[in-house]
Amino acid sequence: MNQETFKANIFIHKDKLFRFACRFLVDQQDAFDLVQEVLMKLWETRYDLGAIVNIEAFAMRMTKNMALNKIAKKSVKARYESEYKLGYQLDHDPELTKDIVIRLIDSLPEKQRLVMFLRDIEEYEIASICELTGMDENATRVNLSRARNTVKGILSKIFDHEERRIRAIKS
């Protein structure tokens, strides 16, 4: 496929691809950049495009998949940054560790949050928690275990990050 054929068959869909990308991405500049990436990938594979029956649908699907990937990357980045901020606070004021654990507990699903708060913060016995929540002992223990594992995992990431930062500073 030469440049003229590419313009006639693919490049004419750029406005439609842009509008489609805008439906996924909030920022128009991100949508514009994404369409540019799609067009670049299509250009790079222009010799293989002859086998595709509906190029417009292929380009739209490509745009959708790339937009969803970009959204997923942003959510991972936002989650990492929120954990980093928690770690940053730990580094500057170790007294905030309890507050951070409480915030992590607050972010848990309702049953896990309630069970972990009652057991680990208020120091209730499992039997008392069962009475208060109306859950059986097995469900209480499962929710407590899941909650602790979630909090432990996030705290481990924070502490690992802090340890890497300290090693980097010392190097």
Domains of the chain by start residue, with CATH: 3-74 (1.10.1740), 93-170 (1.10.10.10)
49 phi/psi in degrees, rounded to 5: -75, -15
Within 10 Å of residue 149's Cβ, how many Cβ atoms?
A: 11
Decide: pTM greater than 0.75.
Answer: no
pLDDT on residue 95: 63
Q: What is the phi-psi region of residue 43: left when phi exceeds 0, alpha when psi lies from -120 to 50, beta otherwise?
A: alpha
Query: Residue 78: pLDDT above 80?
Result: no
Within 13 Å of residue 121, how many CA atoms lie on the same side as its CB?
18
What would the pLDDT profile of 19-28 be if each residue is shown by its tens digit?
888 888 878 9
| Percent of the chain's residues with pLDDT above 70 | 88
The chain-wide mean pLDDT, for the chain, equals 83
Query: Residue 5: pLDDT above 70?
Result: yes
